[in-house]
């Protein structure tokens, strides 16, 4: 198993939403014929709070300039103010958060369903430790107990989940005894993922209303 990430990054932002790095992550596995195939794909945004704040850009303006969905993330997780004051006080979480990882789309071939927690935890580990991950509850279709073991918490009044990435959790991919190299996926895995990706409901505001 390997991850390949295609990202958009602005070395010198000219618009507020340029502080949000958009990424598409492909999870590659091998088939029985030892050919590489994509077995999962995730859509991930990264809001670089520390960079935007240090350059005098309002986090509120960054989220508002990007999309209504990012504004929902902002309102659900960040203490409301024109200046960045940190994560909402009622979360009872004191560690500084310097970035938000937003996983807003994911598809998995059925052959890797048992690896969803492994993949999700690994994606979170691709970003700095002083960050938090937010995600719609239904994005990965993991059971509540599995999401809890990964450290995801429900956000009151929202369909979003929140996970501080610096905390130890009941499950960690680094402690998983399975060897991802031994995972074999069917020959049609990539076609299946591509089709799911086209058809997916890339969680938008409709998720909040359900």
In this predicted model, what pLDDT tens digit does every residue of 120-135 receive, in sequence order? 999 999 999 999 999 9
Among 112, 103, 105, CA closest to 133: 103
Name the band, by pLDDT with cuts 50, 70 and 90, for residue 201: low
**Mean pLDDT for the stretch of residues 103-120:** 97
Name the band, by pLDDT with cuts 50, 70 and 90, for residue 14: very high
- Residue 83 predicted with pLDDT over 80: no
Q: Give the residue, 89 or 137, on which the prediction is more confident.
A: 137
Query: Whole-prediction pTM value?
Result: 0.90
**Mean pLDDT for the stretch of residues 76-105:** 85
Name the band, by pLDDT with cuts 50, 70 and 90, for residue 77: very high
86: which 2 tokens? 């940190």
CB 34, CB 194: distance < 8 Å? no
Q: Minimum mean pLDDT among 26-35, 69-78, 195-204: which range?
A: 195-204
Task: Return the pLDDT at 204.
Answer: 42
Among 171, 173, 96, 93, CA closest to 130: 96
Residue 10's φ and ψ, nearest 5 degrees, are: -105, 110
Task: Return the pLDDT at 143.
Answer: 95
Q: What angle do CA 91, 64, 198 make, to 5 degrees?
A: 95
Name the band, by pLDDT with cuts 50, 70 and 90, for residue 210: very low
CB 114, CB 144: distance < 8 Å? no
Write out the DSSP string of 123-189.
HHTTS-TT-EEEEETTSS---HHHHHHTT-EEPTTSSEEEEETTS--S--GGG--S-GGG-EE-TTH
According to DSSP, residue 98 is labeled -
**Mean pLDDT for the stretch of residues 32-58:** 95
Q: Give the residue, 206 or 40, on which the prediction is more confident.
A: 40
CB 162, CB 102: distance < 8 Å? no
Spatial separation of the C-alpha atoms in residues 153 and 157, rounded to whole Å: 12
Task: Return the pLDDT at 206.
Answer: 39
Which residues, in sequence order, are CB contacts of 137 under 8 Å at separation 6+? 147, 154, 159, 160, 161
Q: Minimum mean pLDDT among 16-20, 172-176, 198-202: which range?
A: 198-202
Spatial separation of the C-alpha atoms in residues 139 and 54, rounded to whole Å: 32
**Mean pLDDT for the stretch of residues 172-183:** 94
Looking up tokens 């050919």, which residue turns up?
Answer: 35
């Amino acid at each position: 198993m390997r991850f390949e990430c295609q990202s958009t990054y602005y070395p010198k932002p000219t618009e507020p939403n340029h502080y949000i790095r958009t990424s598409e992550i492909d999870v590659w596995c091998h088939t029985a014929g030892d050919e590489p195939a994509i077995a999962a794909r995730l859509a991930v945004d990264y809001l670089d709070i520390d960079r935007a704040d240090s350059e005098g850009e309002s986090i509120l303006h960054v989220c508002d300039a990007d999309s209504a969905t990012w504004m929902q993330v902002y309102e659900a997780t960040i203490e409301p103010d024109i200046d960045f004051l940190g994560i909402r006080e009622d979360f009872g979480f004191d560690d500084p958060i310097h970035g938000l990882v937003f996983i807003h789309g994911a598809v998995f071939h059925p052959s890797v369903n048992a690896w969803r927690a492994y993949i999700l935890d690994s994606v979170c580990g691709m970003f700095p430790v002083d960050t938090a991950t937010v995600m719609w509850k239904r994005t990965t279709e993991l059971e509540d107990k599995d999401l809890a073991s990964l450290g995801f918490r429900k956000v009151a009044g929202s369909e979003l989940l929140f996970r501080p990435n610096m905390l130890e959790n009941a499950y960690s991919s680094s402690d998983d005894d399975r060897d991802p190299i031994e995972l074999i996926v069917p020959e049609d895995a990539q076609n299946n993922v591509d089709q799911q990706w086209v058809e997916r409901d890339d969680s938008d505001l409709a998720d909040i209303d359900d």
